[in-house]
Amino acid sequence: MLEKYAELIVKQGVNVQPGQDVVITSDVCNADLVKAIAKEAYKVGARDVIPYYVDEDLTRLRYDHNDVDYFKNVPNYVREIHNEYALKHAAVITITSEDPDGLKGIDPQKLQAKSKAIHEACALFYDHLDLMEDRWCIVGAPSLKWANKVFPEMSDREAMEALWNAIYHVTYVDRENPVEEWDKHRKSFEERVGKLNALNIESLHYTNSLGTDLTVGLTDDYLFAGGGSYTKDGIYSFPNIPTEEIFTSPHYQKVEGVVYSSMPLNYNGALVEDFSITFHEGRVVAYDARVGMDVLGSIIETDEGSHYLGEIALVPYNSPIREMNILFYNTLFDENAACHLALGKGFSECLKNGIEMNKEELYQHGVNDSLTHVDFMIGTADLSITARSRQGEEVAIFKNGCFVL
């Protein structure tokens, strides 16, 4: 199963090309998966596979024993290594396995400072990923602390096995040929994406019983996308495994109303729960949270762009991940169980000819720019979404949490 998972990540996740370098970031606990990915990458002709290991316990110690100012600076070697990856057009794989409570109690200003500093110092690296120059993929693999959080009633061994099985199931690795299954998965998005792009939508209106009442305006030349993406060299890949979402970037100045979260948000090991965000003229003007208010505030205050939306994503409530009835406490998985929004950077692929534009041109067309991009879940069993076209017609997109289009 691990070998099948690694093959899927290499062939569909980043679609490694002959002669390409591959960079893998992973906690040390998942070294076996890193080795399996490396083996598959070399099989398809990778030139080099570079592991970048982290350790969650050491990360916690670093936050515990340093003040905020420490995290505002990025060592030159970190800057040079990451930007060198971009210059080489390396394929970038990130294996997520964080303990959802791993950074509980850490000053959110430290998390914000670290995120902002690394994105500024490694701007070339992140621009290559954000602007479709290079391919990247985020995948999941269990750590013991994460498994214990998801399955607290089980023994350590049972919890690890259960989380691995859940990951294999939602990524189709438990099927006979996962690579072929993802070809079929790609095709399943295309019809609905085509319908949404043909509607000439001006805005979407979200409502549900939690109190969400939000109107989101789209750009004049919006494009919905789903599944994977093409990089500028014309190669298709899947940035997220798993994925069940169809998404676009709204016009960052055209969001009005209030939205309520439907699931906890795990941000760098800190949880935010039962929160709401209010927008006016696109900008966050108020927010509240039962748990993690300071963490939510640190996300919103990252920079000016983090006060605006960069993504709206449509995920039916009956998605395969939702039907497993597992709360993963991990955004990669939980965002594919519910409709979600994202504060921060928007996507070039979500605007006609956007892939050929730079950040400034995208921004002029209404696509948000920020140093961050943080997804949060809003989908419920009674969510309704109604589209209003530029011709004044209203079309139901979602009823009772699922597509009706």
Residue 115 and residue 136: Cα distance in Å, rounded? Answer: 18
Q: Domains (ranges, CATH) in the chain?
A: 2-170 (3.40.1830.10), 189-403 (no CATH)
| CA 96 to chain CA mean position, Å | 11
pLDDT at 405: 86
Asked if pLDDT for residue 185 goes beyond 80, the answer is: yes
Is residue 358 packed enough to be buried (19+ CB in 10 Å), middle (13-18) or exposed (0-12)? exposed
Token pair in block for residue 174: 């438990």
If we measure between CA atoms, which residue out of 346, 51, 33, 270 comes closest to residue 171? 33
Return the sign of the alpha-carbon dihedral for residues 12, 14, 17, 23.
negative
Token pair in block for residue 239: 């940035």
Each residue's pLDDT tens digit, 281-326: 999 999 999 999 999 999 999 999 999 999 999 999 988 898 899 9
If we measure between CA atoms, which residue out of 32, 26, 27 comes closest to residue 6? 32
Asked if pLDDT for residue 270 goes beyond 90, the answer is: no
Asked if pLDDT for residue 188 goes beyond 90, the answer is: no
Cα→Cα distances 128→133, 232, 275, 355, 359, Å: 5, 10, 33, 11, 11
Asked if pLDDT for residue 252 goes beyond 90, the answer is: yes
Residue 359 and residue 346: Cα distance in Å, rounded? Answer: 10
The single-letter DSSP state of residue 355 is G
Q: What percent of the chain has pLDDT over 70?
A: 100
Strands in 3-135 per DSSP E: 21-27, 48-54, 91-96
Residue 104 and residue 124: Cα distance in Å, rounded? Answer: 31
pLDDT at 28: 97
If we measure between CA atoms, which residue out of 35, 59, 33 comes closest to residue 145? 59
Chain-wide mean pLDDT for the chain?
95
**pLDDT (mean) for 254-258:** 98
Q: Which amino acid is at 142?
A: P
Residue 240 and residue 227: Cα distance in Å, rounded? Answer: 8
Each residue's pLDDT tens digit, 343-400: 999 999 999 999 999 999 999 999 999 999 999 999 999 999 999 999 999 999 999 9
Token pair in block for residue 125: 């690296």
Residue with tokens 């019983």: 209
pLDDT at 47: 98
**pLDDT (mean) for 20-30:** 98
Residue 291 and residue 271: Cα distance in Å, rounded? Answer: 7
- Of the pLDDT bands very low, low, confident and very high (cuts 50, 70, 90), residue 9 is very high
Each residue's pLDDT tens digit, 237-247: 999 999 999 99
Q: Which amino acid is at 359?
A: K
Are the CB atoms for 367 and 350 separated by under 8 Å? yes
pLDDT at 191: 86
β-pairing, 91-96 with 21-27? parallel
Residue 234 and residue 263: Cα distance in Å, rounded? Answer: 36
Question: By three-state DSSP, how is residue 128 classified?
Answer: helix
Residue 104 and residue 83: Cα distance in Å, rounded? Answer: 31
Cα→Cα distances 262→272, 313, 332, Å: 11, 14, 15
Residue count of the chain: 405
**Range of lowest pLDDT (86-90, 140-144, 187-191, 361-365):** 187-191
Each residue's pLDDT tens digit, 97-149: 999 999 989 999 999 999 999 999 999 999 999 889 999 999 999 999 999 99
Residue 30 and residue 215: Cα distance in Å, rounded? Answer: 42
375 - beta bridge partners?
342
Residue with tokens 């040929």: 177
pLDDT at 25: 98
Q: Torsions phi, psi of 12, nearest 5?
A: -110, -40
66 - beta bridge partners?
none
- Of the pLDDT bands very low, low, confident and very high (cuts 50, 70, 90), residue 190 is confident
- Of the pLDDT bands very low, low, confident and very high (cuts 50, 70, 90), residue 35 is very high
**pLDDT (mean) for 210-229:** 95
